Amino acid sequence: MIGGGGRRRALWFAMFWIAVGVGAYVLGVQLELGQRAEDTALDAAEFTYSPPPPLNLVSIPAVAIALGVVAVIALLSHGIRRAIVVTVIPVLAIVASQLLKQVWLTRPQLFDLDVPNTFPSGHMTVFTAVTAALVWAVPTRARGIVAVGGAALLAAVGWQLLAYGWHRPSDVLGGIALGTAAFALACLIRPATSRGSIALGRTVAVSLLVIGWLMVAGALVLGAIAVWNENAVTLLTAGELGCIGATTLASRALLLLSVGRS
C-alpha cells in the first residue's frame, strides 16, 4: 500500500517538475552550449516523416477518442468528478504546450543555424497527459500495472522523438515536465481521493524510482563521454537514456499523485 501525501506530496512534485521544465528550457534553448549540443544530437538522428507506432498515432481525432475512453473508465470507476478531471487537465496541458511553443517561448538563434522553436514537445505532452489521465481513471488496485505500462509507452515515445529527429532532448523533457506538473498542480488544488490500495504499489513505486534515476545517471555518464570523445551518436544515446529516465520518474510521480489521500 502507498500512503497518501495530499498537498505536501503534490507541492513537491509540482516544484520538481516545474524545475525540470525550466531547467531544460534554460540549458537547452537559451544557452549557446546547450543549443550546439542538442543540434549535434539532432544531426545524429535518422529523420523520417513516417515513424512507427506509437508516435504516428497522434492526431486531434485520436486524442479526442482516447480522452473519451479514459473519461468513461473514470466515470464507471470513480464517478463524474473524476471523469471531468481526467478530461480537462490533459486538454489544458495540451493547449498550454502549443501556447508555450508558438507564442510565449522563443528559441534565440545563438549561432549560424535556423533553429525554430520546438519547446516543449506537443507529442510528448499529449502522451504524458493521456497516460496520467488513464492512471487516475482506472480502479485503484490496477494503477500500479497501468503506471508500469505507461512508463514503457512514454519511454518508447521519448526514444522515438529523438531517434527519428522530431525533437531535441530539452523539448521532450519539457513535454514530460508539463504533463506531469499539470496533474501535480491539480492535486495541489484538490488532492485526489482513492478507495482501496494499489496492488504491489510500493514495489512498483520503488522500482520506477530506482530505474529512473539509474537511467538518468547513465545518461550523465554517456553525455560526459560523448563530449570528451566529440561523438554525436553517443550524445544522442545519452539524450535518449535521459528522457527514458525522466518518463520513468514521471510515471512514478503520476502513480503517487493518484493516491492523494486515502
Given this model, what pLDDT does residue 22 score? 97
Mean pLDDT of the chain: 92
What is the spatial distance between Cα 261 and Cα 97, in angstroms, rounded to a whole number? 29
> 108: domain range?
6-259
Beta partners for 261? 193
Within-domain flag for 1: no
pLDDT tens-digit readout, 4-18? 457 889 999 999 999
Given this model, what pLDDT does residue 261 score? 53
Whether 216 shows a pLDDT value over 60: the answer reads yes
- Tracing cell 495540451 back to the chain, one arrives at 94
CA 216: distance to chain centroid? 14
Within-domain flag for 45: yes
Region 232-248 average pLDDT? 97
Whether 139 shows a pLDDT value over 90: the answer reads yes
pLDDT tens-digit readout, 22-72? 999 999 999 999 999 999 999 999 999 999 999 999 999 999 999 999 999
Within-domain flag for 10: yes
How many domains is the chain partitioned into structurally? 1
Within-domain flag for 155: yes
Given this model, what pLDDT does residue 113 score? 65
Within-domain flag for 21: yes
Within-domain flag for 185: yes
Which residues have a Cβ under 8 Å from the Cβ of 96 and sit 6 or more positions away? Answer: 125, 178, 182
Within-domain flag for 36: yes
